[in-house]
Amino acid sequence: MTERRLIGRTAAPGLASGRVAVIGTEQTVRRVAGAPADEAQTLRRAIAATLAEVTTLAGSANGEAADMLGFQVALLSDDELARPALAAIAGGASADSAWMAAMGAEIAGYGAAEDENFAARTADLEDIRDRVCAHMAPGGADAAIPDGAVVVGADLPLSRFLSIDWRRGGAIVLTRGSPSSHVAMLARARKVPMVVGLGGSPEALAGHEALVDAGAGEVVLTPDAATRVRFEARRGTAAVAAAALDTWRDGPGVTADGTRVAVHLNVGDPAELDGLDPAICDGIGLVRTELLFHGTAGLPDEAAQYEVYRRIAAWADGRPVTIRTLDAGGDKPIPGVTVDDESNPFLGLRGIRLSLRHPDLFRTQLRALARAAVHGEVRIMLPMVTIPAELEAARRMLDESISDLARDCVPARRPMLGIMVEVPAAAIAIDRFDADFFSIGSNDLTQYVTAAARDIGTVAELADPLNPAVLRLIAVVARHGREVGRDVSLCGDAGGEPKLVAHLLHAGLRSLSVAPAALARAKQAIAGTDLRHPPP
């Protein structure tokens, strides 16, 4: 057969080869309608069985994976999801045809959304649709994916991704999909090459041998001998480069002119630290505690939170651990906590605004953090701070929590209390905030300064951390930190991007916090920066 080259978009870079395995999406209708009461019972049982499956899967997942599966659990737990299908069943439709029609309308609504994060939820809805149908029609589930296969589909549900053992190789190629989808985030974290937006029909790729250069967004079907040779050469070169990059991980962050730069880690789950030596970093610059609040057993109590924070502090072995209080809202809703149907959730009740509206929830977290501070240098960081009154209100609640712990004879220590600088109002008037330290959230700061969301493709280029307005605000905050003797760090994605590191350091930053997977390349970029000369 003739070699074919297809071009899509990079979602997770990497090189892989293998035989194409096409995953199905839509299930076909198999049932003949019975009595409406029986059909309704069939649908309810199928939904309950699917909820049990996804709940079990969520319980065995960690970090962002558990967070993402929580969305499916919340949907399946909501009676409103099945209401249109039950209405159709009452009118004489079969359980599966009614379910398919109802979910088709729901999926179409999500898919038409302008917000790319919202549209990316269609894969979750398709997964729910197909799982419920499989319980109503035995044998409807997809076949197992062979080890090392190039998985091809219109989209890939999160649960399907988690069911595949990626340690044995393989890649993901989607005709639709999004680089900002949940699966894309996990693929990058697990180093699974992934290409999206290829177009066409997944079935047209079935059975072919495929070479995937996800960094270039390229897929070659039925490659000839010369193409295979060139591909293997690229794979060998990439392996050598990855090994060379790893040598930077264990050393300190030092610029070419000898300036020391602290490099910390961003984590969302203690499991991310398993197998890592704390000596590779200067501490933990960001712990995303909102991921603890997406489990299926309800909101975590003080004891559960304390144990997680204590474990991270113990791992750090005396190094500072900065733990962000609940940063829910925006694109991170939590049932029973966040506000449903806000017209603009990114500008709504999120971060510290939400915590102050739920004082009992906030006090529980502050108590757990103060208790964990006995075991290490724990610092508390408040997200989405806009005015000094929010910092002062949180400080009063922290003091009250520590007093309560002392009265109860519970060991505790007062942590340092700092703020994230991600709202332009805080960055511009940073001298108004009497925080113990400052940490710049480059993702939201860039989004708000440029009025452009990174995850909306039509304006993504405008959401540029190198925009002079963004860099000037970073410089303002860094200069203020030096003047008042307070630590200033950056914990957004920008710190892990090599092309941005030199600009951040020239803006005055001397502390960065990055994902564990970005640690080596961040240190390499620091070493390649000479602060005696402006960045190119």
**Does 461 map to a domain?**
yes
Q: Residues 14, 214: contact at Cβ < 8 Å?
A: yes
Candidate ranges 98-102, 258-262, 337-341; pick with highest mean pLDDT? 258-262
Confidence of residue 73 (pLDDT cuts 50, 70, 90): confident
Whether residues 122 and 147 fall in one domain: no
pLDDT score at 109: 74
Q: How far apart are the first and last CA of the chain?
A: 47
Query: How many domains does the chain divide into?
Result: 3
What the block records as the tokens of 106 is 């729901």
The H-or-E segment that residue 532 falls in is: none
Range of the domain at 238: 4-24+142-244
What percent of the chain clears pLDDT 70, i.e. is strictly above it? Answer: 87
For residues 381 and 253, give the distance between their C-alpha atoms in angstroms, rounded to a whole number: 23
Whether residues 125 and 232 fall in one domain: no
For residues 474 and 234, give the distance between their C-alpha atoms in angstroms, rounded to a whole number: 38
For residues 48 and 55, give the distance between their C-alpha atoms in angstroms, rounded to a whole number: 10
Domain boundary (244, 271, 306) is at 244
Contacts 24+ apart (CB under 8 A), 100-107: 100/26, 100/27, 100/29, 100/129, 100/133, 103/128, 103/129, 104/129, 106/81
**Does 343 map to a domain?**
yes
Residues 6+ apart with CB under 8 A from 420: 324, 351, 381, 382, 383, 384, 385, 439, 440, 441, 491
Whether residues 285 and 161 fall in one domain: no
Confidence of residue 330 (pLDDT cuts 50, 70, 90): low
pLDDT score at 413: 97
Question: Where residue 341 sits, what CATH number does that domain have?
Answer: 3.20.20.60
pLDDT at 269 over 80: no
**In the block, residue with structure tokens 């870079």:** 13
Q: Which residue has the higher pLDDT, 460 or 387?
A: 387
Per annotation, catalytic residue among 182, 264, 375, 480: 182
Confidence of residue 27 (pLDDT cuts 50, 70, 90): very low
Active site residue 182: yes
What the block records as the tokens of 324 is 């962000």
Question: 418 — phi, psi (to 5°)?
Answer: -125, 180
Question: Where residue 181 sits, what CATH number does that domain have?
Answer: 3.50.30.10
194: alpha, beta or left? (left if phi > 0; alpha if psi -120 to 50): beta
Per annotation, catalytic residue among 135, 281, 491, 503: 491
Domain boundary (205, 225, 244) is at 244
pLDDT at 361 over 50: yes
**Does 533 map to a domain?**
no
Q: Is the torsion defined by CA of 514, 518, 523, 529 positive or negative?
A: negative
At 471-508, the pLDDT tens digits run 999 999 999 999 999 999 999 878 888 899 999 999 99
Active site residue 506: no
Whether residues 311 and 392 fall in one domain: yes
Domain boundary (87, 114, 136) is at 136
**Does 198 map to a domain?**
yes
**Does 534 map to a domain?**
no
